[in-house]
Chains A and B, each alone.
Chain A
């Protein structure tokens, strides 16, 4: 054993005045009294104890000297043999995931508060020569304080830790901690968590085989995961108490594929308890009540159901459990239901074209409203212009659909080139090639179909970016989509009146896809995201090839810069549940928290296309029952957690108590 601060041993000199005082004290106070008559009677039976009286003064002196000695050695900070050469690198990993929001009914504190309190105590044991770091493991791993030898910084940072709604990332945090402190001998990782990690069985079960078989990939992966969570350098400090919980673990909505105004909601409620539970699930679309479902869920069971309903209007669909359990964040889930606006269509038919099928198909598409031919200005402006058997002199702005194209397109550009050139009539134009990636041809199969009246379309690049959708065996491009800044164009060179295309099921599907494509309705599900995940969300705001930035406004009003690329925005990991809003406005103000009214509510925007719902949806976080950590995961604290000086102070305190008892016996007894 050695001393970290041997110069402090000078405090042992404090024994000198004690001895001096003792010598002075042995010269008893002389007290003259009128008579010893009474004192002689009082003490006449105690004469035989004079030896003990003298002895106990010696004992008091020895106790006091031992007290000073212990304090002096404690100040010198003695080191165990294992500590003599190296200080330790102490990394505190604090779990601030959603489950740490659970409130302990006994104390009224959250698990995170308890964890912070314990972590602060551990940080207080830092010795001279030690380093300390702080990592949070909720939602995403974040190194709050890097390696430092100043514990108060960590203690202050601990108080600033906020709970997140994200999942537990203990494994990643331990990995990060091991990278932070590379020296295995000095590294001590202390994890403050409730143990609500994914695959918590890895924590509770002892490893079946220390060295898994090489060909057992599953066992090897489990062993690797176990190693990432436990180890000789990791100590788990479990916080909280086991509690029952009800949680919405799944909440997704999508528009119906068959009913344009219908939608399907998938909801799952799980009972994380050994007792059956009763509750009520309230569904609201924005503020309108949709349904109230009474639930009776058996122990460890779940309620899972698809709920179909209709609503043309979109909005935020909210499901809320009536439960006052310990964790509230998983009692509410949200999903974005896309809006279905009415689509006014202006149909311009040629003189010799009846466009019967086209009109009927368009009318069959819900939300499509074909404007009268003599439409006046008071009616809603057409959002889509359809030309059937006729080519306009100029291509109007906005989405344009041209079917049964009789001639080349109008001249455009400075050189007067036609917008497209129409090829010659083709005999038996069998579709041989179909663009599979295009959303226009989703669920459409036209290969080997004879497209009567099909002719080649050669689109001028000055019109826009063409994409050939259907191509015959002879290489004739009979269906072309064009990306144009003024609006998308779809050209279909086919005579609908003579072709059997209108009689095929593919035609209304193609038209429905075209409607979605024109108005950038992808038709895909816009899933409610889970906290802590990183994902790409479709957001059709620009050209496919364009890369830009946008602002993501959190439910709290905080703005974050996100990247938009190829109509997809990269999000996550999102720390809290709620409804986020994507916007391209005020991108320069990224990072500032909006304080103005109206901007703080992400759902205030009328367009729901840029809303993103985020839920917890994590069974591991909602399961508030604590796993029983075996000894292997509750490894030893570093010796410095109980430095020798601690025991010295303890012994000194014991001596003080003993001396106090002796004094009491001498004076009061």
Chain B
């Protein structure tokens, strides 16, 4: 899955991201914290115990006030990739034989995760990958440096889809407890969470993470080619449902799916979250470019 061509594409995307954002991305971002940076931020009253090296002697010489110089602290960003490895990410729903099979969501999700990890590592950020389904399944600890990309790729290649359901809320609960510090939390998932995805994302926001949602679904899920008497099987829960699918039911299904997608977009827009939706027939680099353009505009 991650061959040399893929790595070349990653390099290209990395260069492209630097040119587009010019230091606004990841590790080159300023944090809201003041501290040991080199760029002046503001002054404050000198207090006992402060380091005299940061006293502004010029102000003291002119006005006799003891003011301490404060600097904008620059820090390396922690990027957490929350990758959905539930069964729904790998199910093949192509019913109509005449139609070309959609690529599985899991492959695209891992490619996107690899690309984001590469870009982050190239910018000297720290990257951690959390594979989850009904809970946190596998975690790749924080790594830093571009030379760690191979270990990232190996980790991603080794992932398998499993789990009986998707539970983002529980996953976030476990993740927040484990994460050493806050950072950018990128959720790569189809968001088919039986209990809803909102609560999980809300907990991320409450924990001071910056959630970014990448929603992946297949064309078949948005527009199923399915008619007649069928037995639907939920690939995660194994629940079966005998139904007779008619054209009217299909129209109803599409309407519900579209409503779901719009709800996700509305939720993210309401809370200022970045949201990217894609189908599996779109190449991963195109998805990354779409994200970059959205970020640049925003």
Contacts and interface: CB of A to CB of B under 8 A. Distances in A.
Interface of A: 25, 28-43, 53, 57, 666-669
B253 to A, nearest CB: 5
6 contacts: A25-B229, A29-B229, A31-B232, A37-B192, A42-B253, A667-B227
Given A42-B249, A43-B243, A666-B246, A31 B228 contact: no
Given A667-B246, A667-B247, A669-B247, A30 B88 contact: no
Contacts of B231: 28-31
B92 interface: yes
Nearest 7 pairs of A and B residues by beta carbon: A34-B88, A35-B192, A28-B231, A36-B234, A38-B256, A32-B235, A32-B233
B82 to A, nearest CB: 18
B235 A34 contact: yes
A484 B145 CA distance: 147
A32 B93 contact: yes
Contacts of A42: 243, 249, 252-253, 256
Interface of B: 88, 91-93, 95, 190, 192, 194, 217-218, 221, 224, 226-237, 239-249, 252-253, 256-257, 260
Q: Give the interface SS of chain B, mostly helix, strand, loop or mixed.
A: mixed
Contacts of A29: 228-231
A229 B253 CA distance: 72
Contacts of A43: 241, 243, 249
A661 B239 CA distance: 32
A668 B245 CA distance: 9
A659 to B, nearest CB: 14
A540 B249 CA distance: 97
Nearest to A38: B256
Contacts of B235: 32-34
Contacts of B260: 37-38
Given A34-B190, A43-B243, A43-B249, A28 B229 contact: yes
A666 B257 CA distance: 22
Contacts of A36: 232, 234, 237, 239, 241
A666 B221 CA distance: 22
A330 B188 CA distance: 95
Given A42-B256, A43-B243, 10 more contacts: A31-B230, A32-B93, A32-B234, A33-B233, A34-B91, A34-B217, A36-B234, A36-B237, A37-B194, A40-B241
A662 to B, nearest CB: 11
A31 B249 contact: no
B236 A35 contact: yes
B91 A33 contact: yes
A225 B145 CA distance: 119
Contacts, number: 94
A34 B243 contact: no
B95 A31 contact: yes
A33 B243 CA distance: 13
Nearest to B88: A34
Nearest to A53: B244
A669 B230 contact: no
A565 B18 CA distance: 126
Given A667-B228, A667-B247, A668-B247, A35 B234 contact: yes
A39 B241 contact: yes
A56 to B, nearest CB: 9
Contacts of B256: 38, 41-42
A37 B196 CA distance: 10
Given A31-B93, A31-B95, A34-B192, A39 B232 contact: yes
Contacts of B237: 36
Nearest to A34: B88
A36 B224 CA distance: 13
A30 B233 contact: yes
A33 B232 contact: yes
B246 A669 contact: yes
A39 B93 contact: no
A30 B93 CA distance: 11
A30 B240 CA distance: 9
A445 B247 CA distance: 108
Q: Kindly name the residue among B88, B233, B243 whose own CB sees the greatest number of chain A CB atoms within 10 A.
A: B243
A669 B93 contact: no
Contacts of A30: 230-231, 233, 240
Given A34-B190, A37-B192, A668 B246 contact: yes
Contacts of B95: 31
Given A31-B95, A33-B93, A667-B228, A38 B248 contact: no
Contacts of A38: 253, 256-257, 260
Contacts of B241: 36, 39-40, 43
Nearest to B240: A30
A278 B247 CA distance: 68
Q: Kindly name the residue among A34, A41, A57, A669 whose own CB sees the greatest number of chain B CB atoms within 10 A.
A: A34
Contacts of A34: 88, 91, 93, 190, 192, 217-218, 221, 235-236
A338 B256 CA distance: 101
A421 to B, nearest CB: 120
Contacts of A666: 228-229, 244, 246
Nearest to A29: B230
A668 B248 CA distance: 7
A627 B167 CA distance: 89
B233 A31 contact: yes
Contacts of B229: 25, 28-29, 57, 666
Contact of A669 (B194, B236, B248, B253): B248
A271 B231 CA distance: 80
A660 to B, nearest CB: 14
A31 B226 contact: yes
A499 B235 CA distance: 142
B256 to A, nearest CB: 5
Contact of B91 (A32, A37, A40, A41): A32
B80 to A, nearest CB: 24
Contacts of B232: 31-33, 36, 39
B119 to A, nearest CB: 28
A6 B166 CA distance: 65
Contacts of B242: 28
A633 B67 CA distance: 129
Contacts of B192: 34-35, 37
Contacts of B226: 31
A276 to B, nearest CB: 66
B255 to A, nearest CB: 9
A461 to B, nearest CB: 109
B96 to A, nearest CB: 11
A379 B92 CA distance: 119
A329 B224 CA distance: 72
A31 to B, nearest CB: 5
A60 to B, nearest CB: 11
Nearest to A668: B247
Contacts of A669: 246-248
Nearest to A666: B244
Q: Kindly name the residue among B232, B236, B248 whose own CB sees the greatest number of chain A CB atoms within 10 A.
A: B232
A552 to B, nearest CB: 75
Contacts of B92: 32
A31 B228 CA distance: 12
Nearest to A27: B231
Contacts of B227: 667
A25 B95 CA distance: 17
Contacts of B91: 32-34
B121 to A, nearest CB: 31
A363 B204 CA distance: 146
Contacts of A32: 91-93, 232-235
Nearest to B192: A35
Q: Kindly name the residue among A29, A30, A38, A57 whose own CB sees the greatest number of chain B CB atoms within 10 A.
A: A38
A30 B232 CA distance: 6
B166 to A, nearest CB: 8
Contacts of A53: 244
A40 B230 CA distance: 14
A666 B243 CA distance: 11
Nearest to B90: A34
